């Protein structure tokens, strides 16, 4: 508590002191940031597709609301860049106009969802898929979380006398870790689960819940911001900025972490091919994919072409900036704004002599 009171007193003194504003160059800066971003364009969202007409073909497709077989699909447009973020930025200003910084931020997307009602197919007497007379109601949710590094150049107009100054930041977006989580909650409508639906290749009960994780590949994107800094005190500043990011990512692999049918964990019975997908650049007759290779190995993960996950956004950030510059702390008295004048030292000859 004493430290908090002392900090408030120091800030109050710095704001109300008669000392002139000291520059933040050359010197280091530390920023705490937080903000929110939206999707700037109408982009498709890849999501798992459950289709009992082709139950062996696990795949991603564009997320859409499907309200029955006789209603046109309604594509869901969004971006995994839509959501909140918090982070730290460490910078260095060489002069009033140019600097560099490195940011590390955690971002979590808004939950993106869709409802799908599709015809439930089951094998007929000949073993061919046929309508069962019922439906499969599926609610899909998608959410991502990312850890992103962002080295940038800073262009500012930070004259010492300015209480406010504008800046421009431009750099790269380097997602070092990104995980996309998909949840599927499926309910049979008009029919009940049978031994056929519980077993391969369906693994469906009256109520089935599934969770999946996709880890993405390392990708290079771009980001930038335009903002303004307010300096109420020499060493503590506040800022607000409008920022944008351009980033698309491909998956590295997808893993089914849970497949539960009516309270029964069926994950171990589905086998490696149905539990994990490894993404490759191309597919051919030797790939472990049933669509291309009828002699695929069910005891090995499936190989497939990765969908593209959009992470572009536009939003805003606000935060606090600390200036780590000895001038800020030592030159509180009589600081010369343009630094063109120097304080002259008093010569010994000019000192008053003691009385004889």
In a domain, 25, yes or no: yes
In a domain, 231, yes or no: yes
CA distance 242 to 315: 6
In a domain, 340, yes or no: no
In a domain, 234, yes or no: yes
Residue 229 belongs to domain with CATH number? 2.40.160.20
Pairing assessment for the beta strands 129-156 and 112-123 based on DSSP bridges: antiparallel
CA distance 210 to 25: 54
**pLDDT tens for the chain, residues 1 to 356:** 555 445 444 444 444 443 445 455 678 999 999 999 999 888 999 999 999 999 989 999 999 999 877 778 899 999 999 999 999 999 999 988 999 999 999 999 999 999 999 999 998 888 888 999 999 999 999 999 999 999 999 999 988 788 899 999 999 999 999 999 999 999 999 999 999 999 999 999 999 999 999 999 999 999 999 999 998 887 889 999 999 999 999 999 999 999 999 999 999 999 999 999 999 999 999 999 999 999 999 999 999 999 999 999 999 999 999 988 766 555 544 334 444 444 455 455 555 555 55
For the entire predicted model, the pTM comes to 0.83
Stated length of the chain? 356
In a domain, 343, yes or no: no
CA distance 48 to 183: 9
Q: Is the peptide bond before 117 cis (omega within 30 degrees of 0)?
A: no
Segments forming the whole domain that contains residue 287: 2-334
Q: Which helix (H) or strand (E) holds 310?
A: strand 308-310
Which structure tokens are listed for 61? 């497709």
Rg of the chain over all Cα atoms, to the nearest angstrom: 30
In a domain, 341, yes or no: no
In a domain, 350, yes or no: no
Residue 54 carries which DSSP code?
S
Report the domain count for the chain: 1
In a domain, 279, yes or no: yes
């Amino acid at each position: 508590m004493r430290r908090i009171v002392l900090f408030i007193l120091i800030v109050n003194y710095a704001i109300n002191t008669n000392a002139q504003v000291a520059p933040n160059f050359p010197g280091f800066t530390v920023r705490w940031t937080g903000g929110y971003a939206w999707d700037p364009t109408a982009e498709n969202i890849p999501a798992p597709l459950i289709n009992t007409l082709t139950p062996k073909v696990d795949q991603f497709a564009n997320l859409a609301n499907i309200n029955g077989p006789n209603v046109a699909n309604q594509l869901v447009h969004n971006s995994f860049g839509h959501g909140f973020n918090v982070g730290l930025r460490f910078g260095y200003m060489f002069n009033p106009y140019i600097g560099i910084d490195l940011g590390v931020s955690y971002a979590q997307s808004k939950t993106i969802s869709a409802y799908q009602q599709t015809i439930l197919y089951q094998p007929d007497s000949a073993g061919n898929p046929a309508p069962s007379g019922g439906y499969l109601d599926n609610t899909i949710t998608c959410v991502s979380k990312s850890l992103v590094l962002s080295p940038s150049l800073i262009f500012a107009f930070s004259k010492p006398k300015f209480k406010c100054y504008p800046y421009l930041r431009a750099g790269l977006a380097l997602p070092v870790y990104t995980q996309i989580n998909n949840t599927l909650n499926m309910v049979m409508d008009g029919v009940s689960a049978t031994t056929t639906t519980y077993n391969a290749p369906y693994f469906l009960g009256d109520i089935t819940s599934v969770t999946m994780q996709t880890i993405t590949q390392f990708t290079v994107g771009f980001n930038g911001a335009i903002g303004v800094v307010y300096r109420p005190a020499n060493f503590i500043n506040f800022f607000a900025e409008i920022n944008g990011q351009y980033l698309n990512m491909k998956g590295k692999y997808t893993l089914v972490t849970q497949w539960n049918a009516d309270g029964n964990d069926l994950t171990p019975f589905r086998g490696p091919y149905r539990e994990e997908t490894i993404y490759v650049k191309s597919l051919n007759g030797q790939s472990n994919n049933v669509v291309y290779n009828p002699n695929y190995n069910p005891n090995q993960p499936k190989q497939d072409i990765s969908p593209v996950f959009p992470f572009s956004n536009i939003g805003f950030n606000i935060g606090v900036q600390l200036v780590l510059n000895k001038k800020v702390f030592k030159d509180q008295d009589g600081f010369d704004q343009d630094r063109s004048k120097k304080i002259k030292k008093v010569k010994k000859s000019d000192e008053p002599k003691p009385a004889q």
